[in-house]
Amino acid sequence: MSSKQLYIGLMSGTSVDAIDVALVSFYQEEAKVEGFYEHPIPANIQHEISELCLPGPNEIDRAGELDQTLGELFAQAALSLLEQQGLTSEAIHAIGSHGQTIRHRPKAKHPFTLQIGNPSVIAYRTGITTVADFRAKDMAAGGQGAPLVPAFHHDQFYKQGHPRVILNIGGIANISLLNDPPPQRLLGFDTGPGNTLMDYWAQKHLNQPYDHDGGWARSGQVNAELLEALFMHKYFSQDAPKSTGREEFSPHWLEPILSCHKNLPAKDIQRTLCELTARSISAAIQQYAEASSEILLCGGGSKNSLLLERISALLKGYTLGTTNAVGINADAVEAAAFAWLAYRTMHSLTGSRSSVTGAKRDLILGGIYPAG
Ligand SMILES: Nc1ncnc2c1ncn2[C@@H]1O[C@H](COP(=O)(O)OP(=O)(O)O)[C@@H](O)[C@H]1O
Ligand SMILES: [Mg+2]
């Protein structure tokens, strides 16, 4: 392959805040993010997604309809990016669509993970070949199916002689450890909650989707007893490979713990939830990363200044920055990763790293839904 190929990556994470759309060019396997756009998710669809993230009645009908609705919305998101960039569908080689996770159960008796947003609808509406369902093959091979972004992080951000940690703070937080060989064994895992619990609490008490810059949390104080109770969650003491989701760090888990701390002001709870995220991330980095590592942040949580201050204070000796400093918009990294994964699949190249997910081997991921 000698000419440049363009791919689109579509991502909607556990925060359900927006559909991230990245335009990525490939020239002889070298990826470059060329454009980025955030497509809004209407409030009623956000609500339907959140309702399906936890067990409830009539799930098959609700999930089936939402699968179609989200397929349409993902297609619109891709078409809006094309319009913004002055491109037509013919210019795009393929779309990589992560889909919307509504359930992730890597520890079930029969482990499964479910992303919806029908790729046939995306391929039909856009006229662009769509690659989707990236996680299932890794699970078939005994892996967690997650996280999948570390391979892309390695491709983009690995620098010899310069250990780095890529820290993505979405609804859930995950890290990729880009250390030197030998042996070059890429590691990465979900550290636990990123913004999801803080978002839930801000929505409940401020009626806002998130605590802007952690301002509300900053007005409260950490409650040591509550923090200790939250850290009792068994996920924190599990070894990698591991992955988690909203079903584990949910209001159903949080509220019974909070009911034992009824007299705490809501702002103290927000501050304590922020501390939980900061400390669980910092502990994971201290346990696995080289002490001199540079930490590059991405994802929406990298804009929460209180959270950053706390991570920075807990990780003295590490340097902190965002991926913006090394050329990729911190909001675009995850969507770009799915464009990259689609490129890998379209060229019969492996996309997963078994050392990250625990699968039997590295695999070519996803299903291809041809255009036309
Ligand atoms: N200025 C900000 N201050 C605090 N939090 C923010 C800010 N901007 C974004 N966020 C957080 O980032 C989240 C979105 O991050 P994102 O990386 O898109 O997560 P996901 O991958 O789970 O969708 C929002 O829900 C919010 O919690
Ligand atoms: Mg998001």
Ligand 1 pocket test, pick from 10, 16, 17 with the greatest ligand atom count within 8 Å of Cβ, gives: 17
Residues 33 and 130 in one domain: yes
Task: Tell how far the Cα of 303 is from the centroid of ligand 1, in angstroms.
Answer: 7
Tally of structural domains, the chain: 2
Residues 138 and 156 in one domain: no
Closest Cα to atom 15 of ligand 1: 300
Closest Cα to atom 12 of ligand 1: 300
Residues 98 and 210 in one domain: no
> Which 3-state string (H, E, C) describes 241-263?
CCCCCCCCCCHHHHHHHHHHHCC
Atom of ligand 1 nearest to the CA of 172: 22
Residues 315 and 200 in one domain: yes
Are 315 and 347 within 8 A, CB to CB? Answer: no
- Phi–psi pair at 167, nearest 5 degrees: -115, 110
Are 219 and 183 within 8 A, CB to CB? Answer: no
Task: Tell how far the Cα of 198 is from the centroid of ligand 1, in angstroms.
Answer: 10
Q: What is the pLDDT of residue 183?
A: 54
User: What range defines the domain where residue 20 resides?
Assistant: 5-144+333-369
Q: What is the pLDDT of residue 179?
A: 87
Residues 279 and 163 in one domain: yes
Ligand 1 pocket test, pick from 46, 49, 196, 210 with the greatest ligand atom count within 8 Å of Cβ, gives: 210
Please give the model's pTM, rounded to 2 decimal places: 0.97
pLDDT in tens, the chain (372 residues): 458 999 999 999 999 999 999 999 999 889 999 999 999 999 999 999 999 999 999 999 999 999 999 999 999 999 999 999 999 999 999 999 999 999 999 999 999 999 999 999 999 999 999 999 999 999 999 999 999 999 999 999 999 999 999 999 999 999 999 987 755 578 999 999 999 999 999 999 999 999 999 999 999 999 999 999 999 999 999 999 999 999 999 999 999 999 999 999 999 999 999 999 999 999 999 999 988 899 999 999 999 999 999 999 999 999 999 999 999 999 999 999 999 999 999 999 999 999 999 999 999 999 999 997
Closest Cα to atom 13 of ligand 1: 300
Q: What is the pLDDT of residue 30?
A: 94
Atom of ligand 1 nearest to the CA of 212: 3
- As residues whose CB is below 5 A from the ion ligand 2, the structure lists 13, 15, 17
Q: Kindly identify the ligand whose nearest atom is closest to the C-alpha of 301.
A: 1
Task: Tell how far the Cα of 103 is from the centroid of ligand 1, in angstroms.
Answer: 20
CA–CA gap between residue 152 and residue 14 (Å, rounded): 19
- Give, as one character, the DSSP assignment of residue 372: -
Are 193 and 280 within 8 A, CB to CB? Answer: yes
Task: Tell how far the Cα of 331 is from the centroid of ligand 2, in angstroms.
Answer: 8
Q: Kindly identify the ligand whose nearest atom is closest to the C-alpha of 299.
A: 1
**Which residues approach ligand 1 with their CB closer than 6 A?**
13-15, 17, 170-171, 195, 199, 210-214, 299-301, 303-304, 334
Residues 354 and 314 in one domain: no
Q: What is the pLDDT of residue 350?
A: 97
Atom of ligand 1 nearest to the CA of 15: 22
Residues 40 and 104 in one domain: yes
Residues 77 and 211 in one domain: no
Ligand 1 pocket test, pick from 12, 14, 15, 169 with the greatest ligand atom count within 8 Å of Cβ, gives: 15
Residues 85 and 123 in one domain: yes
Q: What is the pLDDT of residue 182?
A: 53
Q: Kindly identify the ligand whose nearest atom is closest to the C-alpha of 171.
A: 1
CATH number at residue 247: 3.30.420.40
Task: Tell how far the Cα of 333 is from the centroid of ligand 1, in angstroms.
Answer: 13
Q: Kindly identify the ligand whose nearest atom is closest to the C-alpha of 218.
A: 1
Q: Hey, what are 150's tokens?
A: 């570390």
Residues 181 and 293 in one domain: yes
Q: What burial class does residue 22 get, using C-beta atoms within 10 Å of its C-beta: 0-12 exposed, 13-18 middle, 19+ buried?
A: buried
Which H/E stretch holds residue 173?
A: strand 172-178
Closest Cα to atom 5 of ligand 1: 304
Residues 154 and 267 in one domain: yes
Are 132 and 99 within 8 A, CB to CB? Answer: yes
Residues 302 and 357 in one domain: no
